[in-house]
Structure 1
Amino acid sequence: MKTIKQYIAIPLLTLFLVTSFVSCDEVEDPNPGGTAVEKMAGDWYVQTFVGENLALDYQLISTYNTAANTDEMWVDDHQHIWWFKSKTPVNISDMSFAGTDLESSVDGYDITVTITNGKVTQGDTETSGGNMTDGISFDIEFSDDPGTIYTIKGYKRTGFAEDEH
């Protein structure tokens, strides 16, 4: 019986005591903060227009921070519109974005894009399901279709079934 105490009970008790003295004592709630472009980031249901003509109905695109986490963001169409994914400069204070000859490479499809008039608005856009959410709009020109300006505009994905496409 003494052998069981020596080899099992005493080391377990010692381990329990040691871990109780070195366990974490979190005093404050940690706040990891957000990203530089968090108010401009999200998934968006957008329509694509050429002039006043609807060229492509609702498709899902995304905007999100870059690894630099500064004054630029990714605009990514997930191969739904033209196969583009570009980093674009942003003005965080007025929630606008634009850039010229931005590189885009998606699965070996290498082009440049020019984005103008990019704007994210907060809470002022009505979804197709009748809900209010953030809006996005921008003009884009693709290097392999020069001279054609596409206007992309839509709303932030709400997660409500009536707003999904």
Structure 2
Amino acid sequence: MKSFFLPLILFVFSLKNLHAQDIETTIKEQSSTVRPKESLNYFVEFGLNVIDNGRTKSPFDSERLEFKNPFFISLEHKSKSNFSIALRFSSNEIRVKSEDRSYFGLDLSGRYYFDDYIFKNKDIDTYVGLGLGRFYLQNGGNNTFNVSFGGRYWFSKSFAVSFQSNGKLALDPINPDVQNYYQYNFGIVWRTNFKKVTPSHKSVNSELKLLEDQKKMGQIAEKVADKIIEKMAKNEAKKDKLAQAIVSSSNNKTELDPNTSARILASRSDYGGNWYISVSKKNGSKIFNNVLHSTNFPSLDDNTMWISDDKKGTWLKCKIDLNLFDGTFSATSEPNVFDKGTVTITEGKIEKGAALSKTGHIVDKISFKAQFSYDPNNVLIFEGHKSTGQEVDEY
């Protein structure tokens, strides 16, 4: 992920520095003259964002709107020809397979302002844009091609309210639950130069003031970039620390390379989710068919996982010890939350791609044996498959 962010950030800063050097050189060459000068516009925008991950053609799915830690900040430079370049960083959380995952996005776009052809009003700005971006979603990321439309209303000389709609198309889909999605931004905009882009005569002192403002904007951009890189470094350190903690708590004490650590972290999310499980006795007679169960991790500190049927089957809810390397799990006389007794689970295993859904999709398989304290002489056999989340595969 760093291999994408760092070149992108350095590219934007190099453009800014080259532009600043050009202005400074011109001022030195013509320090004793007064010459025509175009106004320059720099914008800092911050606010909230909403992500629509409904995976439908509709641009607004109220049932799949994500709004948790939904912040963004944007830096933009607008030229005299109504074109601009903008860099935006955003954060949120997206629910994937019943889990909330942290989302971070960085987008670079070019914009064209066309409000002069429609509204003839200096208080209204409208634009369309194209660009590239990348989002980071916990254990993976993806590059996107972005199409945007937005507008602003200036309620004072330096401040405006803004709205932007972004359609993001995944260039290399790696997660079927997060591919193409919409993102809506609502914010406040501050600009350093409130004048329209029109010719004017400025003295050398005015040009020096403009250069000073531009350098201040550059300092703000560099601070934002430092924060982004610092956040990325902390996330990488946290992942490495978590992987080592998992390894030390397991039976396998061998040291892992970074690639193995990444697989451990990825498997944690694979084991959580919803499952359709049938329950039978040893003689093969069925007690329950395709009862919806769920598995989830209460924390990231250990390899303990919860399993529950929400009182729809055998009234099972207990903690199990999961081996993240091979998907095996067990529980010994573990308290059963639903019936106040205990339950012992043996021969538990989650197998990747070893089962079929109701309509024939390849999914993960789960199986285990359970013995409840209220019926110690009987061992029940649980076997089922992971839910696809699609209505056609529901029971």
- How far 1:148 sits from its partner (Å)? 1.0
* Helix, strand or coil at the partner of 1:130: coil
Residues 47 and 54 of structure 1 are in contact (CA less than 8 Å); yes or no, is this contact kept in structure 2?
yes
Partner of 1:90: 322
1:34-53 equivalences under 5 Å are: 37-51=268-282, 52-53=284-285
User: More deviation in 113-122 or 69-78?
Assistant: 69-78
In the alignment, structure 1 residue 75 sits paired with structure 2 residue 307: yes
Q: How many residues matched?
A: 154
Q: Aligned partners of 1:37 and 1:50: how far apart in 2?
A: 30
RMSD between aligned residues: 3.1
- How far 1:162 sits from its partner (Å)? 2.7
Cα gap change, 1:101 to 1:163, in 2 (>3 Å): same
Q: Aligned partners of 1:84 and 1:121: how far apart in 2?
A: 21
In the alignment, structure 1 residue 153 sits paired with structure 2 residue 355: no
Cα gap change, 1:153 to 1:49, in 2 (>3 Å): same
Q: Aligned partners of 2:319 and 2:224: how far apart in 1?
A: 41
- How far 1:90 sits from its partner (Å)? 1.3
User: More deviation in 36-45 or 58-67?
Assistant: 36-45
In the alignment, structure 1 residue 128 sits paired with structure 2 residue 366: no
Q: Aligned partners of 1:118 and 1:39: how far apart in 2?
A: 16
Q: Aligned partners of 1:120 and 1:64: how far apart in 2?
A: 13
Q: Aligned partners of 1:35 and 1:80: how far apart in 2?
A: 30
In the alignment, structure 1 residue 61 sits paired with structure 2 residue 293: yes
Cα gap change, 1:11 to 1:160, in 2 (>3 Å): closer
Q: Which of the pair has more CA radius of gyration?
A: 2
Cα gap change, 1:125 to 1:36, in 2 (>3 Å): closer
Partner of 1:116: 346
Residues 37 and 73 of structure 1 are in contact (CA less than 8 Å); yes or no, is this contact kept in structure 2?
no
Q: Aligned partners of 2:273 and 2:362: how far apart in 1?
A: 15
Long gaps (5+) in structure 2 = 1-155, 160-188, 193-216, 240-264
Partner of 2:370: 140
- How far 1:86 sits from its partner (Å)? 0.7
- How far 1:11 sits from its partner (Å)? 9.1
* Helix, strand or coil at the partner of 1:37: helix
TM-score, normalised on structure 1? 0.78
Cα gap change, 1:78 to 1:68, in 2 (>3 Å): same
- How far 1:97 sits from its partner (Å)? 0.2
Q: Aligned partners of 2:321 and 2:315: how far apart in 1?
A: 19
1:33-82 per-position Cα deviation (integer Å, ceiling 9, x unaligned): 65773222110001011121111111100111122542211111111112
Q: Aligned partners of 1:129 and 1:29: how far apart in 2?
A: 43
Long gaps (5+) in structure 1 = 1-8
Q: Aligned partners of 1:36 and 1:121: how far apart in 2?
A: 11
Residues 37 and 64 of structure 1 are in contact (CA less than 8 Å); yes or no, is this contact kept in structure 2?
no
- How far 1:160 sits from its partner (Å)? 2.5
- How far 1:84 sits from its partner (Å)? 2.1
Structure 1 counterpart of 2:334, from 102, 127, 132: 102
Higher RCO by CA contacts (8 Å cutoff, separation 6 or greater): 1
Residues 45 and 58 of structure 1 are in contact (CA less than 8 Å); yes or no, is this contact kept in structure 2?
yes
User: More deviation in 70-79 or 26-35?
Assistant: 26-35
Cα gap change, 1:35 to 1:80, in 2 (>3 Å): farther
Cα gap change, 1:36 to 1:160, in 2 (>3 Å): closer
Cα gap change, 1:29 to 1:130, in 2 (>3 Å): farther
- How far 1:29 sits from its partner (Å)? 8.9
Identity %, equivalent residues: 27
Q: Aligned partners of 1:38 and 1:76: how far apart in 2?
A: 17
Cα gap change, 1:97 to 1:130, in 2 (>3 Å): same
- How far 1:27 sits from its partner (Å)? 5.0
The runs of at least 4 aligned residues of structure 1 exceeding 4 Å deviation read: 9-12, 27-36
* Helix, strand or coil at the partner of 2:340: strand
